[in-house]
């Protein structure tokens, strides 16, 4: 198991934050410095994302199916957000800051969290709801594809593969494997 580039500093920060101080050295950061470092981190993150994706953006958009993929992305992103947002506001009576933080956490979207935090700088409601939802979403992002792969693999073994009826016989994979190796 590897911690990666950010894992080591994160674990050390958690340990040192729990200890509190070593001799005359206090592991405390004033809220203003904490806010400045958070904002700097989000700005650097967005700058790197923009620089990495901006070079080929116009070519990807204008060639082939670029516009349709953008439309699919907007549809796939907007429909769940609007549905959950409307239901949470109407049924759960969530306030706007909590709702913004929850939706940002559900999409694991740091820029949306930065927006929500800037709406009311003294309130921590957006950050709290983001931190509440974020771990569950990250866990589901890891486990859901694996469960879907196992489910579809099991269905294909049982003869219920997409595009075939329940009574159809499974395709002869030996023929495909034999022809692929020739």
Looking at the predicted structure, is the pLDDT value of residue 180 above 70?
A: no
Q: How far apart are CA 164 and CA 154, in angstroms?
A: 15
Q: How far apart are CA 114 and CA 82, in angstroms?
A: 19
Q: Is 88 within a domain?
A: yes
Q: Is 101 within a domain?
A: yes
Q: Is 146 within a domain?
A: yes
Q: How many domains does the chain have?
A: 1
Q: Is 44 within a domain?
A: no
Q: Is 111 within a domain?
A: yes
| Model confidence pLDDT, tens digit, residues 125-142 | 888 888 888 888 888 888
- Does pTM top 0.75 for this prediction? no
Contacts of 41 (CB under 8 A, 6+ apart): none
| Model confidence pLDDT, tens digit, residues 62-112 | 887 888 888 899 999 899 889 988 998 889 888 888 888 898 888 888 888
Q: Is 72 within a domain?
A: yes
- Residue 136 sits in which domain range? 65-154
């Amino acid at each position: 198991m590897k911690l990666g580039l950010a894992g080591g500093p994160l674990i050390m920060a958690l340990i040192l934050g729990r200890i509190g101080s070593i001799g005359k050295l206090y592991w405390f950061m004033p809220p203003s410095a904490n806010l400045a470092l958070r904002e700097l981190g989000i700005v650097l993150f967005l700058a790197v994302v923009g620089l990495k994706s901006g070079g080929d953006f116009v070519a990807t958009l204008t060639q082939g199916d670029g516009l349709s993929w953008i439309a699919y992305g907007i549809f796939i992103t907007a429909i769940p957000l609007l549905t959950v947002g409307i239901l949470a506001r109407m049924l759960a009576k969530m306030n706007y800051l909590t709702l913004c933080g929850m939706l940002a956490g559900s999409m694991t979207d740091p820029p949306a969290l930065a927006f929500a935090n800037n709406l009311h700088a003294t309130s921590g409601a957006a950050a709290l709801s983001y931190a509440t939802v974020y771990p569950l979403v990250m866990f589901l992002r890891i486990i859901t594809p694996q469960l879907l792969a196992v489910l579809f693999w099991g269905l294909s073994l049982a003869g219920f593969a997409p595009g075939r009826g329940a009574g159809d016989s499974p395709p002869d994979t030996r023929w495909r494997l034999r022809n692929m190796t020739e």
